[in-house]
Amino acid sequence: MGTTRDLTNFVAKTTYQDLPQETIDATKLAVLNIIGCMLAGYQTRIGKLHTEMAKDMGGGREQSTIIGDGTKVSAPLAAYANGNFGFALDYEDTVLYIAHPGYITASSGLAVGELLGSSGKDLILSIALGFEVVARIGAAMQPTPERGKLVWGEQYHPFASAVTAGKLYGLDADALDVAFGIAGTYATVPSAYKYFGVVAETRPMREVKLGWGWMSMAGTVAAQSAHRGFRGGHGVLDGEQGFHVMAGSDRCDFAQIVKDLGKSWAITKTEYKIHPSIAWNHPLYAATRGLVKEHAITPDQVEKIKISGMNMNLIGDTNPQGAVDAQFSLPYTVVTTIMQEPLLPAMYSDEKLADPVVRGLLSKVEMHHDTAADADFFTDQKMRFGIEIALKGGKTVKRDVEWPRDQPPMGRPEIEKKFRELAGTVLNDKRTEAVLQAIDGLENFDDVADFVRLLV
């Protein structure tokens, strides 16, 4: 019946017993990472705003918990709030640099799982499936480089929450097909370039970002709508008028979407951010950190900073005015790395943004936009950058970096460290360790609500 039905058939029939142990372990690691991001994101300025918005909208029913805050709102609004928390610091996960499934699968999964009394195994399965579907759809509908220069976004994410919530509701393939159609209808427009586009035209950036929390809510509502009995809208991904066209892409590899379904799992290939910023900044963060460590560089030694690479016109903001501007500013990432700032919410506080040392280093940044590197990203998902730091006394140090070739490991030890640092900004040490242990044994929970109670 088409690609959409192939996917919904796969989602409907897959059971927890079908998951390889590697996939189960990878799912729990993904949950650990995003729960840390949610807890830290809750306390940010943006997180507090989204908390109040969720309470304002409310939904009329006390069903699911806003993490950190403890207030119960309707399940879609809990997904909205918690999804936004997961993205507040831009410290989440990524698959192929074009999907961020953790925030949306966990936010919808926790909200619906708490409402329904789902088990930990149910949650693990639904999240793994959400990762799988959104990664396949996102990778298959990436535009050509020519089209990608004009229109781009990641508005396919509501399919992840539709799958996660729909699986928890026990929707069959037909109802999931309906949910897909609704999720596609409620998806945001591909507005990435009006969000973090040309610096001179788009700053200050919109603090709702790409509508991540809205996408969490959209997919959750889509699954609930199908569960309630809404009909119609089958095959939203399929054909010449399929979702990829609605979303602004000029191509879609339908065969890629369904190839080897169930034989490989995208969640096992998840990348975890090593820095709270857009993933495009991470290669140069790693290169700068390496230079600082190797040469014992301090801010007062720096005379000039030259950086080169992809999308400098989009991420080359040398005068960020708020947290979101700074998260998408490669210069801000570089200078705060030279300052060896802890990777915590305070790095994006108004006080840090106004710090004279930060502002002084930003004024020393020069940039070169490498358009060939832009094409490499859209064609091969490679990210290429270079940095050169001129120091007092005439010494200059430099380093080139390409990802994934030079990407440092981010495995279980690194994720645990990251989790403890982020969760520890909200929870005491005892509670932090309790949450970590609970996620390790997530499959043993009979009711997701028991797990959620640890997060407030």
C-alpha 45: how far from chain center: 18
Q: Could you tell me which of 274, 38, 28 has the C-alpha nearest to residue 131? A: 28
How many C-beta neighbours within 10 Å does residue 1 have?
A: 13
Cβ-proximal residues to 82 (8 Å cutoff; 6+ apart), any chain: 38, 66, 67, 106, 107, 110, 111, 213, 216
The superfamily in CATH containing domain 279-403 is 2-methylcitrate dehydratase PrpD (3.30.1330.120)
Closest CA to 103 of 174, 177, 182, 50: 50
How sure is the predictor about 148, in pLDDT bands with cuts at 50, 70 and 90?
confident
Instruction: Name residue, tokens 């490989």.
Output: 264
Q: pTM of the prediction? A: 0.95
Mean pLDDT to the nearest integer, 75-81? 98
CATH of 3-274+413-455, one of 3.90.1010.10, 1.10.4100.10, 3.40.50.720, 2.40.30.10: 1.10.4100.10
Q: By the 8 A CB rule, do 448 and 110 touch?
A: yes
For the chain, the domains span: 3-274+413-455, 279-403
Q: Rounded to whole angstroms, what are the CA distances from 385 to 108, 312, 313, 338, 409?
A: 36, 10, 14, 17, 19
Distances (CA, A) of 40 to 47, 201, 231, 424: 9, 30, 39, 8
List pLDDT tens digits, range 384-433: 999 999 999 999 999 999 998 999 989 999 999 999 999 999 999 999 99
Q: What angle, 0 to 180 degrees and rounded to 10, lies between the N-to-C axes of helices 21-42 and 101-116?
A: 90
User: Residue 401, Cα to own-chain centre: how many angstroms?
Assistant: 23
pLDDT above 80 (res 378): no
| Bridge pairing between strands 396-403 and 383-391 | antiparallel
Q: Over the stretch 161-185, which tens digit does the pLDDT of each residue have?
A: 999 999 999 999 999 999 999 999 9
Strand pairing category for 271-272 and 302-309: unpaired
* Res 60 pLDDT > 90: no
Residue 97 has pLDDT above 90, yes or no: no
Q: What is the mean pLDDT of the chain?
A: 96
CA 316 vs. chain centroid, Å, equals 21
| pLDDT reading at 268 higher than 80 | yes
**How many other CB atoms are there within 10 angstroms of residue 74's CB atom?**
23
Q: What is the pLDDT of residue 381?
A: 79
